[in-house]
C-alpha cells in the first residue's frame, strides 16, 4: 500500500512546533519573534503570497511587519530599507518577495540581508554553511528544508546506505536539497536535463526528488519499486475535461502511475507546497532563538 504524504498535515505539525517555541521564547527571555516582509510593486500573485505569509506569522505569535513599496522604487531606497531592518534588533527574519519589478536587481538586495536574518536561506553565506555541513548556524532555503522533513519522517535522521537522486540543479532547490541529503549520509546523485540515461539513473534511487519543471516527466518505469518519491514540480497544464480553457496543476512526476510503484509519494498540489511557508516560519523562530542565545527547536 503506497503512502501519500499529506503536506498540509505535516506543515500544520511544523506550525504547531513554531507556535510552542515562539511562546516559550517569549516567556523565558521576553523576546517576541519578528518577521519583516518587503514587497515591491503590485503583482497579484506576489501580494497573495505575502498576505498568506503575514497571516501565518501573526497566527504563530510573531511581530509581523509588511513594507509595501511602489513599483518605481529605486535600488538605493530598497537597499536602505534592508539596512534599517538589519539594524533593528526586534526583527529576526527579513524576506524580500521575488521577483522584483524591473529594473531592480534582486541579487545585491538578497546578499545584503544579514545571513542570520536571511530566513529564505538565499545568501551565499547560508549556501556556503550548508555546503560545508554547518546546519547549527546556517539557515536552509525553505522548500528543500520542507522536502527534507518528509524524508526524515519517512527514513529517520540517518540515511546511511540509501541512494538519493535529485533531478534538478538550481541554486534555489536542487543544490541545497542534495547537500541536505548528503549531510544526512545518503549517497547522492544530482541529475539534470543533460544527464545521459536519466531514467536509468533514477531507477537506482531509494529516494527520488524531482525538481525539473517538466510536467509528469518521471514515469513509473523510472522508479525503483518501493522508493520514496518527492515531487517538487508545480506545472499548469490544459484540462479540457474541466471545460474550455481550464487548467490543472501537476508535478514533475506522473502521479497515478508512479504511485503504483513507489512506497511513499508526495502529491501535487498538497505535498511540498504547504511546507514552504511552514519552513519560513520555522527559520524565523530558529533565528530568534539564536539571537536570544537559546537552543532553537528541531523540525
Task: Read off the pLDDT of residues 95-128 as tens digits, 9 standing for 90 and up.
Answer: 999 999 999 999 999 999 999 999 999 999 999 9
Measure CA of the first residue to CA of the last residue in the chain; give whole Å: 27
Of 53, 117, 129, 175, the active-site residue reads: 53
168 annotated as ligand-binding: yes
- What's the longest Cα–Cα distance across the chain? 57
Place of cell 540543479: 169
Give, for 14, the enclosing helix (H) or strand (E): helix 7-29
- pLDDT for res 153: 96
Task: Read off the pLDDT of residues 184-218 as tens digits, 9 standing for 90 and up.
Answer: 999 999 999 899 999 999 999 999 999 999 999 99
Whether the pLDDT of residue 239 is over 90: the answer is no
170 annotated as ligand-binding: yes
CATH of 28-116, one of 3.20.20.190, 3.40.50.10860, 3.90.1300.10, 3.40.50.720: 3.40.50.10860
pTM: 0.94
User: Could you confirm whether 53 is annotated as catalytic?
Assistant: yes
Q: Where in the chain is the domain with CATH 3.40.50.10860?
A: 28-116
Specify whether domain 142-274 bears CATH 3.40.50.720. yes
- pLDDT for res 245: 84
Which are the contacts of 274, defined by CB distance < 8 A and separation ≥ 6? 7, 8, 10, 11
Q: Where in the chain is the domain with CATH 3.40.50.720?
A: 142-274
User: Could you confirm whether 231 is annotated as catalytic?
Assistant: no
Amino acid at each position: 500500500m503506497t503512502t501519500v504524504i499529506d503536506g498540509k498535515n505535516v506543515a500544520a505539525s511544523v506550525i504547531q512546533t513554531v507556535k510552542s517555541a515562539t511562546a516559550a521564547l517569549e516567556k523565558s527571555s521576553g523576546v517576541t519573534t519578528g518577521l519583516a516582509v518587503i514587497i515591491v510593486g503590485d503583482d497579484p500573485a506576489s501580494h497573495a503570497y505575502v498576505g498568506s505569509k503575514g497571516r501565518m506569522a501573526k497566527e504563530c505569535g510573531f511581530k509581523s511587519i509588511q513594507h509595501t513599496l511602489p513599483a518605481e522604487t529605486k535600488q538605493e531606497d530598497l537597499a536602505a530599507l534592508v539596512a534599517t531592518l538589519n539594524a533593528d534588533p526586534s526583527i529576526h527574519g527579513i524576506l524580500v518577495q521575488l521577483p522584483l519589478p524591473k529594473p531592480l536587481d534582486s541579487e545585491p538586495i538578497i546578499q545584503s540581508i544579514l545571513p542570520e536574518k536571511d530566513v529564505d536561506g538565499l545568501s551565499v553565506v547560508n549556501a556556503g554553511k550548508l555546503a560545508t555541513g554547518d546546519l547549527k548556524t546556517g539557515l536552509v532555503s525553505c522548500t528543500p528544508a520542507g522536502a527534507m522533513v518528509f524524508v526524515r519522517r519517512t527514513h529517520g535522521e540517518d540515511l546511511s546506505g540509501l541512494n538519493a537522486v535529485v533531478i534538478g540543479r538550481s541554486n534555489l532547490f536542487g543544490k541545497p536539497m542534495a547537500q541536505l541529503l548528503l549531510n544526512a549520509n545518503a549517497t547522492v546523485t544530482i541529475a539534470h536535463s543533460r544527464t545521459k540515461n536519466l531514467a536509468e539513473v533514477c531507477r537506482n534511487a531509494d529516494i527520488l526528488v524531482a525538481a525539473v519543471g517538466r510536467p509528469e516527466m518521471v514515469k513509473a518505469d523510472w522508479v525503483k519499486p518501493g522508493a520514496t518519491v518527492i515531487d517538487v514540480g508545480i506545472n499548469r497544464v490544459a484540462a479540457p475535461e474541466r471545460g474550455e480553457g481550464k487548467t490543472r496543476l501537476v508535478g514533475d512526476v506522473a502521479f497515478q502511475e508512479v504511485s503504483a510503484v513507489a512506497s511513499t509519494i508526495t502529491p501535487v498540489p498538497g505535498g511540498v507546497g504547504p511546507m514552504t511557508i511552514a519552513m519560513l516560519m520555522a527559520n524565523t523562530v530558529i533565528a530568534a532563538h539564536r539571537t536570544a542565545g537559546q537552543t532553537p527547536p528541531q523540525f
